[in-house]
Amino acid sequence: MLKWRLIPDNTKVPFMGMHRPLMLASVLISIGFIVLLIFKGLNFGVDFTGGVLIEVRTEQTADLEAMRGKLSGAGVGSVALQEFGAPNDVLIRLQQQEGGDVAQNAAIDKVKGALKELYGEGVDYRRVEVVGPKVGAELIQDGIIAVLVSMVLMLIYVWFRFELPFGIGSMIALVHDVIFTLGIYSLSGFEFSLSTVAAILLIIGYSMNDTVVVYDRVRENLRKYKAMPLRSLIDISVNDTLTRTIMTAMTTLLALAALLIFGGEVIRPFAFAMFIGVIIGTYSSIFVASASLLYIRPVRKPDEGKGTTAHAYEQIERRHREEQDAAAAPRRVRRPAQAALPEPAPEVLAELPPDDEPPPEAPSAPTGRKRSSSLKDRRRRRGR
């Protein structure tokens, strides 16, 4: 059976070794998006700006160019046309008319008259909505309040479940996600409607869910490895949850991609916001929420004593880094020291010659000539 895994087990990716450049890039991009939101703003839909929204269905395929030209000459101001699912479904947006409700109703009658000239009686008006500027302003205010209240409640939840440093880190990640989502909307020009506000609230919940999973493993490892440096501990925690994080994000993105492609114009702004929000939320749970713990240190209870302070932890981490550097440095081969020879006994020293006398010469080996002479002597003796 073929066993193939997209994310292998026991990964050892040094995420915290990359956090500084990535966090710096996130801060710079966030500042750029804030400037973009201040000067360019968002493309608010009729829900926020006010105006008239008309959804029509024609018997045949709608000719948007002909319809736009006819409505532009009807004296109703700016007109936006958009296919609304099927080719014969059209969404007509009119700008806010000056003169109150009477002017809005007059603009609707003009639109109906222009469409009657084009398609006769074969036009079905499926929806007609009029949103005043006051209602739009209230919706903007309610949307901002909803986002802020959800973020504060998330902060309180993480604070009580973990610790205050974890709550602050999760809040930084949520602010990062909201700024990035709004900035991309401003940059792309997508219409910002009530469905987008709902998508942002879901993005906050999704990002917080990812962050809590990582934080839970960090808290578990804080109890397990009480003297391990915080940087290494966070790396281990993120790698332990990496498979779950990536697979959850991929399955969610596949479903959102299907909505984005086949969902039609009604649900496309919502799907677009959720798609980019899942990507941003996955990134922030690793490189923003987790990395923020390196600067907002959680309380640890090491085994080296109940009174160990943060300064003591810095010393522990410094000693651990020094040990790692020493282990990584090239090692020199040390030769074993020769054992010292034992001192000779006194009687042995007495038999040795003094230092100034030359050592006795060794007896020379017998030569072959002397050996042969001794054999002759033996023979002579035997003959006698």
Co-location of 182 and 158 in the same domain: yes
Q: Could you report the per-residue pLDDT of 193-244, keeping only the tens digit for each?
A: 778 888 888 888 888 888 888 888 888 888 888 777 888 888 888 888 888 8
Residues 55 and 203 grouped into a single domain: no
361 occurs within a structural domain: no
Does any domain span residue 321? no
Instruction: Give me the pLDDT at residue 319, please.
Output: 65
The percent of residues above 70 in pLDDT, for the chain, comes to 72
Q: Is the pTM of this model over 0.75?
A: no
- Any domain includes 266: yes
Task: Note whether 175 and 256 are same-domain residues.
Answer: yes
* Terminal CA-CA length for the chain: 103
Is 262 inside any structural domain?
Answer: yes
- Is residue 239 situated within a structural domain? yes
Joined tokens for residue 112: 């109906």
Boundary residue ending a domain (109, 131, 153): 131
Does residue 94 contact residue 76 with C-beta atoms inside 8 Å? yes
Whether 188 and 224 share a structural domain: yes
Residue ranges of alpha helices (H) inside the chain are 19-39, 46-49, 64-72, 100-119, 133-161, 164-188, 194-224, 230-240, 242-262, 268-284, 291-292, 310-328, 346-351, 368-383
Tell me: do 283 and 144 sit in the same domain.
Answer: yes
Do 36 and 179 lie in a common domain? yes
Residues 142 and 245 in one domain: yes
Total number of domains constituting the chain: 2
SS3 286: helix
The CATH number that applies at residue 72 is 3.30.70.3400
- Per residue in 98-113, pLDDT (tens digit) is 766 677 778 888 888 8
Are residues 28 and 86 both part of a single domain? no
Q: Are 213 and 244 in contact (CB under 8 A)?
A: yes
In this predicted structure, what is the pLDDT of residue 337? Answer: 53
Q: What is the pLDDT along the chain (384 residues), one digit of tens a residue?
A: 456 666 767 778 888 888 888 889 999 999 999 999 999 888 887 777 777 888 888 877 777 777 877 777 777 776 777 777 677 788 887 777 776 667 777 888 888 888 887 777 777 888 887 776 666 677 778 888 888 888 888 888 888 888 888 888 888 998 999 999 999 988 888 878 778 888 888 888 888 888 888 888 888 888 888 777 888 888 888 888 888 888 888 999 999 999 888 876 667 888 888 999 899 999 988 888 888 888 887 766 655 434 444 445 455 556 656 666 676 665 554 555 555 555 555 555 555 555 545 555 555 545 545 455 555 666 666 655
Query: Whats the size of the chain, residue-wise?
Result: 384
> Torsions phi, psi of 301, nearest 5?
-125, 85
Per-residue pLDDT, 33 = 93
Range of the domain at 92: 51-131
Specify the pLDDT at position 60.
78
Rounded to the nearest 5°, which phi and psi values hold at 33? -65, -35
Number of Cβ within a 10 Å radius of residue 69 = 13
Statement to judge: residues 272 and 142 lie in one domain: yes
Is the Cβ–Cβ distance between 269 and 195 less than 8 Å? yes
CA distance 159 to 166: 7
Q: What is the pLDDT of residue 244?
A: 86
Would residue 242 count as lying in a domain?
Answer: yes
Domain shared by 144 and 23, yes or no: yes
- Within a domain: 172: yes
Residue 217 tokens, joined: 């493993």
The answer to whether residues 120 and 86 touch, using CB atoms and an 8 Å cutoff, is no
Final residue of a structural domain among 244, 262, 292: 292
216 and 271 fall within a common domain: yes
CATH assignment of the domain containing 220 = 1.20.1640.10
Could you tell me if 237 and 223 are in contact, meaning their C-beta atoms sit under 8 angstroms apart? Answer: no
What pLDDT is stored for residue 306 in this prediction?
A: 42
In this structure, the answer to whether residues 102 and 165 fall within a common structural domain is no
Domain-located, residue 191: yes
Select from 263, 292, 321 the last residue of a domain.
292
